[in-house]
């Protein structure tokens, strides 16, 4: 029997996850595994999950499904802490949900920091959504003591304060477009184009810029950073980092991140040439 996995979300057609996971299956010799793509909203997700048969092993969940997923299985502590899950695993004894965004972001940043770099003290985060919540947890794991959240609606950022307290982080909230203090890392968690107007000021705030967008690329934020010689990480770095953890959860096997990175770059090149 073929073992099935899939990525769900809306919109989902752009997702690189099939390219990454299928490359992992090929590398691992899992010829009887498949990985699909399904357009899915929050209303439809519970019925979809309940309708899977014994051939299904795992789901990758992207926006807008990361919160509703918490009610669909036993919640891993990290997912419960940040209030967002991006992975659902079907086990013989039930369903479990996980957050691999936190670990993926941590591994991507550590790779970007390179050898000899210490912990981060201050992190600036653009945006207040589910990825911002995961970024706070990642910042704490990376050693940060202070996070500045920059929000179009500062009152929405106040919802992050209990999480920051639980993580032992000092949380400061600033309005969109306000002058930014010096930081060790700036993470943009907003959608493509949303940070364009603040790109020039944002890249001057930190020596490393992490823009979670991967397509279209480069973003205005990435271009401004590269112009100043600032190190840039992008959404593919995050996608690969979290997918490595998803592959482990779904298959029980480890995959070299370089395999997934190569597959992701090849797919983006294919799309650009199409």
Kindly report, residue by residue over 17-63, the tens digit of the pLDDT.
999 999 999 999 999 999 999 999 999 999 999 999 999 999 999 99
Mean pLDDT, to the nearest integer, of 221-226? 93
Phi-psi region of 12 (alpha: psi -120 to 50; beta: other; left: phi over 0): alpha
Among candidate residues 58, 55, 94, the one with its CA nearest the CA of residue 73: 94
- Residue 192 is predicted with a pLDDT of 86
* Catalytic annotation, pick one of 4, 21, 57, 66: 66
Kindly report, residue by residue over 118-134, the tens digit of the pLDDT.
578 999 999 998 889 99
Residue 66: active-site member? yes
Count each helix (H run) and each strand (E run) in the chain, helices first. 11, 12
Indicate if the pLDDT at residue 274 is higher than 80: no
Go through the domains of the chain in sequence order and give each one's CATH number: 3-99+237-273 (3.40.50.10860), 102-235 (3.40.50.720)
> How much of the chain exceeds pLDDT 90, in percent?
87
Indicate if the pLDDT at residue 266 is higher than 70: yes
Among candidate residues 72, 28, 66, 64, the one with its CA nearest the CA of residue 48: 72
Kindly report, residue by residue over 142-151, the tens digit of the pLDDT.
999 999 999 9
Determine contact, residues 167/195, Cβ cutoff 8 Å.
no
Mean pLDDT, to the nearest integer, of 193-216? 91
């Amino acid at each position: 029997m073929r073992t099935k996995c899939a990525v769900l979300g809306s919109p989902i057609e752009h997702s690189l996850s099939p390219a990454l996971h299928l490359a992992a299956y090929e590398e691992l010799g899992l010829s009887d595994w498949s990985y699909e793509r399904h357009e899915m909203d929050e209303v439809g997700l519970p019925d979809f999950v309940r309708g899977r048969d014994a051939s299904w092993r795992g789901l990758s969940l992207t926006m807008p499904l990361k919160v509703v997923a918490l009610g669909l299985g036993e919640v891993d502590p990290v997912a419960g802490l940040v209030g967002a899950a991006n992975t659902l695993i079907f086990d013989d004894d039930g369903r479990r949900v996980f957050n691999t965004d936190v670990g993926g972001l941590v591994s991507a940043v550590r790779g970007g920091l390179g050898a000899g770099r210490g912990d981060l003290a201050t992190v600036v985060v653009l945006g207040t959504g589910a990825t911002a919540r995961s970024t706070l947890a990642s910042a704490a794991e990376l050693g940060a003591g202070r996070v500045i959240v920059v929000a179009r609606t500062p009152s929405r950022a106040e919802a992050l304060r209990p999480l920051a307290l639980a993580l032992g982080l000092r949380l400061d909230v600033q309005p969109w477009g306000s002058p930014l203090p010096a930081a060790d890392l700036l993470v943009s968690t907003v959608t493509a184009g949303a940070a364009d107007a603040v790109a020039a000021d944002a890249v001057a705030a930190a020596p490393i810029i992490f823009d979670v967008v991967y397509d279209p690329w480069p973003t205005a934020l990435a271009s401004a950073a590269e112009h100043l010689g600032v190190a840039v990480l992008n959404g593919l770095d995050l996608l690969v980092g979290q997918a490595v953890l998803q592959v482990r959860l779904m298959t029980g096997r480890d995959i070299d991140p370089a395999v997934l990175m190569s597959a992701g770059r090849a797919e983006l090149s294919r799309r650009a040439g199409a």
